Amino acid sequence: MNLKHMRYFLAVAQEANFGRAAQRLHIAQPPLTRQIRALEEELGTDLFVRTTKGAELTEAGEVLLAEVPNILSLVQRAKEQTQLASQGMLGRLDIGIFSSGVLYVIPQLLARFHAQRPGVRIGLHNMTKYEQIEALRERRISIGFTRFTPQEDDIAVGTILQEPFMVALYEDHPLCQQTLIKLADLAGESIILYPNFPTHGLAQEVRQAFEHEGCNLTVGWETEDFITAIALVASRLGLCITTASVANLNLPGVVYRPLISKYLQYIELNYLYRHNDNSPALRAFLDVVQQYQHSE
């Protein structure tokens, strides 16, 4: 029993007349009659009793009539859902993020994407850059956001944002009186570094900057994430070089000032995805990323 049989059967059942059903279906009556007979032969039972006025459903026909509209409705829904998925309007998008990226641009991208495509479910996964690359290759995520992204042949990388560096200070620190802070101003201060990972990141950039500019770096604390680092600043345990987006974390007792440095000028926020990934949901999200870039 195919969909054509079901549509023809439904038309005859609702019209109770082969001639009117044929007109509704925009076909001649003989082909319609042949299709209904073929359906009856397949099911091994009569579905209609032919009368002088038209056609009446048999008991078997009544049972089939109770099911066919639901089947056709499900088929139509499946068709529509499939078409929406092909347009990136349905499905799931898994995104790799890192801690401080959620403070500024990523929430804006998610809000824009959700407003345009509310039918796409979004999964967020906190990962390091190398965990994101591995997850992309294993197709556990479709796109990731990170910094200091290594070049990989199978991974496409773009830059969505360049942020200036800031210095997080605790209230009443003498450097709060300055509108700008140089690396030389931080010589001898207890500096809190993050993230405390062996891979190249912000902590390594800060160390290299002090070395390149001939300034003495005193590391007071090393931590794995920006929230702990800023909390240590709020506890008056040291100062921290961080990014403009982290300044959105308004912890009491913390003051932010722009950093002036020849080496530490801007830090990039990258997005990365598989070169060969043609997922409609991913392509739709990349469109949102590009729209954001053009609006900034």
| Per-residue model confidence (pLDDT) at position 200 | 83
What are the percentages of helix, strand and coil residues in the chain, rounded to 5?
Answer: 45, 25, 30
Q: What is the pLDDT of residues 208-264, one digit of tens each?
A: 999 999 999 999 999 988 999 999 999 999 999 999 989 888 889 999 999 999 999
| Per-residue model confidence (pLDDT) at position 90 | 75
Q: Are 289 and 145 in contact (CB under 8 A)?
A: no
Mean pLDDT in residue range 267-278: 93
Dihedral sign for Cα 197, 198, 199, 203, please: positive
**pLDDT at residue 62 greater than cutoff 70:** yes
71 vs 239, higher pLDDT: 239
Q: For residues 86 and 220, what is the distance between their CA atoms, to the nearest angstrom?
A: 53
Q: What is the pLDDT of residues 125-168, one digit of tens each?
A: 999 889 999 999 999 999 999 998 989 999 999 999 899 999 99
Mean pLDDT in residue range 60-65: 92
**pLDDT at residue 81 greater than cutoff 80:** no
| Per-residue model confidence (pLDDT) at position 169 | 97
Structural domains of the chain sorted by starting position, each given as residue range(s) with its CATH number in brackets: 3-86 (1.10.10.10), 91-160+268-295 (3.40.190.10), 163-266 (3.40.190.10)
Q: For residues 68 and 76, what is the distance between their CA atoms, to the nearest angstrom?
A: 12
Q: What is the pLDDT of residues 5-42, one digit of tens each?
A: 999 999 999 999 999 999 999 999 999 999 999 999 99
| Per-residue model confidence (pLDDT) at position 199 | 77
In percent, how much of the chain has pLDDT > 70?
Answer: 99
| Per-residue model confidence (pLDDT) at position 296 | 65
Confidence of residue 198 (pLDDT cuts 50, 70, 90): confident
